[in-house]
Amino acid sequence: MQDSAPRKLVLGSTSAYRRELLQRLRVPFTVAAPDVDETPRLGETPLALARRLALAKAQAVAAQHPDCVVIGSDQVADLDGEPLGKPGTHERAVAQLQKMRGKTVVFQTAVAVVCQSSGFCQEDVAPVRVVFRDLSDAEIENYLRAETPYDCAGSAKSEGLGIALLESIDNDDPSALVGLPLIRTSRMLRAAGIALLGPV
């Protein structure tokens, strides 16, 4: 009887952006903070880093909630193989955007779905190719003062004024750049037994 009850869903992230995105699926969920060291390993590519951290976050929260389906996600900006994470400060955000201006950056957005008690574990990455305009120092400064995107990988908050930084965005999962690729997430949640598009 207990096996037929739907499993509860947990978002293993404190990101307000990911929470807002997951709410779009209209499935009840709770939020738990993953205790994971996000330091890149020596020689680790941005893609490998994003994959490892997404899975580590999901597994860390799943260990605390073994009967739940847990989502973990991570995003790393990839500039010619160099990982760019969250800047944290104004000065580092300026340096990131100066590095990225006029260049193509791939935002590697990884997602993992884990249920410890059922043994379910899937992960995927939605790469987003973003071409930055050749920004002036004044444009960078004005943008950062307006948006303060210091908690966003690569300092680029595309859902706000950050869209004005860009020449183009190329991806196959539109919400990936904001932080959670919902097409891939939905696919994995269905596979894990979470009902989507059920009766209202």
CATH of the domain at 147: 3.90.950.10
pLDDT of 4 reads: 59
Residues 6+ apart with CB under 8 A from 79: 99, 100, 103, 105, 154
Note whether residue 11 is domain-resident.
Answer: yes
- Is position 152 within any domain? yes
Total domain count, the chain: 1
Q: Does residue 162 carry a pLDDT above 90?
A: yes
Point out the least confidently predicted range of 14-18, 21-25, 122-126.
14-18
C-alpha to C-alpha distances, 18 to 24, 53, 183, nearest whole angstrom: 10, 15, 14
Residue 196 lies in a domain: no
- Sign, CA dihedral 66-69-75-80, equals positive
Instruction: Return the biggest CA–CA distance within the chain.
Output: 63
Q: For residue 47, is it within any domain?
A: yes
Beta carbons of 160 and 134 less than 8 angstroms apart: no
Domain that holds residue 54: 2-191
pLDDT value at position 100? 96
Q: What is the pLDDT of residue 157?
A: 87
Q: Is residue 197 part of a domain?
A: no
Residue 155 belongs to a domain: yes
d(C-alpha 72, C-alpha 10), whole Å: 9
HSE, side-chain direction, 13 A CA sphere, residue 90: 9
For range 87-93, the mean pLDDT: 95
Q: Which helix (H) or strand (E) holds 196?
A: none
pLDDT tens track for 106-152: 999 999 999 999 999 999 999 999 999 999 999 999 999 999 999 88
Active site residue 74: yes
199, part of any domain: no
Average pLDDT over every residue of 158-182: 94
Whether residue 139 is contained in a domain is answered as yes
Mean pLDDT over 92-113 rounds to 97
Catalytic pick among 67, 74, 78, 172: 74
In the predicted model, what is the mean pLDDT of the chain?
A: 94
